[in-house]
Amino acid sequence: MNAQAQPLCKAYIAGWSRREEPEKHICDFFFGSKPDKAAPWPNNTEADLECAFLETLAITIRLRNGRRYICKGFKSEKRANGEFVISCEIPPVSDQIV
């Protein structure tokens, strides 16, 4: 369920890590506020394909109020150096359990 106490903030995918648990493959995503620190994709096609894939994952952020926020609306954008980055809007860090 998406619930927020404050306006959402634009956040860029800064990285991810994969871990294995019995019968599960888990990927943790890390977000940041600066596009120059975001994970790069070499072109718009690959970034847009990744956005579509991320929409299928139901990436969740645990909130202090006990609820979970489901990340949606992933978008790619071009950086000045020609690479592409991916962002979405998420609750501010002050609302998250980190």
In a domain, 59, yes or no: yes
pTM: 0.85
CA atoms of 60 and 70, how far apart (whole Å) = 4
- Helix, strand, or coil (residue 51): helix
Cα–Cα distance measured from residue 87 to residue 74, given in angstroms and rounded to the nearest whole number: 6
Domain containing residue 13: 9-95
Q: Strands 75-78 and 9-21: what pairing?
A: unpaired
Pinpoint the alpha helices (H) of 1-98.
44-55
Residue with more model confidence, 5 or 68 = 68
31-88 confidence digits (pLDDT tens): 999 999 999 999 999 999 999 999 999 999 999 999 999 999 999 999 999 999 999 9
Total count of domains within the chain: 1
